[in-house]
Structure 1
Amino acid sequence: MKRLLLWTGIAAVALAILTGSLVWYVYHSVKSTADRMYEPIERITPMRVSKDASVPKKPEAAPLPGKLRAFTVLLLGVDQREQDSGRSDTIVVMTVNPAKHSAFMLSIPRDSRTAIVGRGTTDKINHAYAFGGVPMSVATVENFIDYPIDYYVKVNMEGFEKLIDAVGGVEVDNPFAFDYLKHHFERGHLSLNGEEALLYSRMRYDDPHGDLGRNTRQRDILQALMNQALNLSSITHIHSLLGKLGDSVRTNIPFGDMKRFAIDYRPAIKSIDSAEVQGKGRTIDGIWYYIVDDAERDRIQGLIKGHMLN
């Protein structure tokens, strides 16, 4: 009996050591990957190029206080090639408000004509990344929405594919059947892996709504992806997820904030709503732009500010 108790005690201690070692290993592996992804930015001092070209002043995001506060994230899907600075083909502003148990995503068409903050010109909003990388994109989007951006997350397009596979794929409702790069997408409810989702979100020339249709499909993919991510149930899933994304993602979210988002924020978010910037196409000096009028700017700014208020 004493020997049985002794062996039981030894087994319990050994199990505790092994479990503790596993938790330590996973924790430090996640931290190492998160540190590799971490890339802070310097804020650009705005150059006034029009009456509305002034970025809301806000310092780099500070560590989160004890209370779960609302925050904003700029999501940039970047198509980057060799010897090319790349361009931000996907631009989404996300607001997260635990007090309202919801997140909100605003999709900004890449051809939207706006002031490029830090350059002194007016151009397509996605050109801000080509001109000045993440800092200029953040400053330009802040000016466009008239609200500060706390964090950014930049993902290359191959990273989106890995991310979707890491969460087990996504489901979308396709409004019409189409073929793209030898892949056929039926009309109706679809379950897509990473490669299929990337192709589904890239097609635009056969879409009756052109680039706006592609924006809608990208937003649907992102929303489905966020819903899948909210259902990740353990640190081991998060470890696997980050491990596959380490070389594809750059962000200014510190590891400590990532932990709080995963542990404290994720259970508080029950729904994700979305909207898209509305406008009209117009050719100016031979270049096609998406024109967003003042009334629409007021509407989208109101949506963002309204969601951030408790």
Structure 2
Amino acid sequence: MGRHDYDNQQPDTDSSREASGHHQLSPGVLLARKIFFGILLVVVVIISWGLIRASHLYTQAKTTSQKIYAPVQVTKQRKTHTLLQQGQPISILLMGTDTGAYGRTYTGRTDTLIVMVLNPERKNMTLISLPRDAAVTVSDHEEEGVAKLNSAYTYGGPKAAIKTVQNYLNIPIDYYMLVNMGGLSNMVNAVGGIDIKPLLTFKYYYNFTKDKLTHMNGDMALQYCRMRHDDPLGDYGRQTRQRQVMMAVLKKAINIKAMATDEFLKSVTKQARTDLTFDDLTMLALKYRQTTTKIDSTHLQGVGKEINGVDFEVASQEEKQKITNLIRKNLNLEVRTTGYDSNISPYQPLPNNQ
């Protein structure tokens, strides 16, 4: 069975996950599958609850969505508003920046990049983590040469990151959601902390013990997500822990009382940005909630390689094609060759791959 064949699988154990290097959903994540992933979908849940339960919460959600709305000057490859109206599959690029914590105020890099595909017809959500150190050429900054994927945001904000991911995998990105590290810590505190069983034992400002249920405040959860060098799986292990923490936040935040607090809503307002309008979010709440019926999770696997004295993750064309096929299939799109043809040059985009 291939890495992307998830149907009818049972959750794997920690030992099998570490041995294979591939990360599937833990039992805790499966228990939380009725909620959406990412800060974007926290807002969706707020809106959906507001529509059903209380007009004052609806008003709060609308105000929050207006404050986090930040459009980018990227020509959409598809008619996204029509897709939402028709309940067609859509893609969202989730980005987590390394700003907003420990006094950092610079533009930062997107150390977390996840392509999320919502397919209402299949009642399925697919999450694909991309390596922060993936070797790319940043769109509109090709003259800079090979760069790490997480630096695209530094060069040109969400616009450069979106275009770079589109070119890298030859896929359309319909929307984006950006959250900073400070946002993660603040939101954990806003919901009263989270309970997590660490995936491995390590010390990183705090002591973490594998499989020991641990109550984490915002800073502890942030450190749990940040550690990378002592993880035998490196950044891939960190990606799994980040998803684990986010799902725990969402599981806690599904409680209407937690979401209705000023602290929680202020945290979302300060730490998140998206190009989804309030109307877009409302349509997501109404038409895409069943995509949580089944959640698949995987990542693009690269191989460490030094280029010009810098360490990168370089994914083979075969590996990238698998990811491209997976995303396009879940978007109900035809098969297309993945980006950056290694037979031409591993770091130059293919012609006409927009």
User: Structure 1-normalised TM-score?
Assistant: 0.79
1:130 aligns with 2:161: no
Retained in 2: the 8 A contact 1:171–1:189? Answer: no
Retained in 2: the 8 A contact 1:107–1:219? Answer: no
User: Cα deviations across residues 103-151 of structure 1 (Å, max 9, x unaligned)?
Assistant: 1111111000012111113211111011111100000011122111111
Retained in 2: the 8 A contact 1:78–1:89? Answer: yes
Retained in 2: the 8 A contact 1:169–1:191? Answer: no
2:274 aligned partner, one-letter code: T
Name stretches of at least 5 consecutive residues in structure 2 with no aligned partner: 1-50, 334-354
Deviation at residue 161 of structure 1 after TM alignment: 2.1
Matches within 5 A, 1:16-31: 23-31=54-62
Q: Which one has a larger percent strand, Structure 1 or Structure 2?
A: 1
Structure 2 distance, partners of 1:132, 1:217, is: 28
Name stretches of at least 5 consecutive residues in structure 1 with no aligned partner: 1-19, 45-56
User: Cα deviations across residues 195-249 of structure 1 (Å, max 9, x unaligned)?
Assistant: 32211110112222333322232233345555x28x8365x66554544310100
Match of 1:274 in 2: 297
Pick closer, same or farther for the CA change 1:70–1:164 going to 2, 3 Å.
farther
Structure 1 distance, partners of 2:141, 2:54, is: 47
1:87 aligns with 2:121: no
Corresponding residue SS for 2:285: helix
Query: Identical aligned pairs, as a percentage?
Result: 32
Structure 2 distance, partners of 1:191, 1:101, is: 32
1:84 aligned partner, one-letter code: Y
Deviation at residue 33 of structure 1 after TM alignment: 1.4
Task: Give the alignment partner of residue 298 of structure 1, picking from 314, 321, 335.
Answer: 321
Task: Give the alignment partner of residue 33 of structure 1, picking from 64, 68, 77.
Answer: 64
Matches within 5 A, 1:136-151: 136-151=160-175
Retained in 2: the 8 A contact 1:176–1:187? Answer: yes
Task: Give the alignment partner of residue 190 of structure 1, picking from 203, 213, 233.
Answer: 213
Q: CA RMSD in A?
A: 2.7
Match of 1:43 in 2: 74
1:73 aligns with 2:96: no
Number of matched pairs: 274
Match of 2:177 in 1: 153
User: Cα deviations across residues 235-272 of structure 1 (Å, max 9, x unaligned)?
Assistant: x6655454431010010011112122234322442122
Retained in 2: the 8 A contact 1:91–1:110? Answer: yes
Retained in 1: the 8 A contact 2:120–2:287? Answer: no
Pick closer, same or farther for the CA change 1:233–1:219 going to 2, 3 Å.
closer
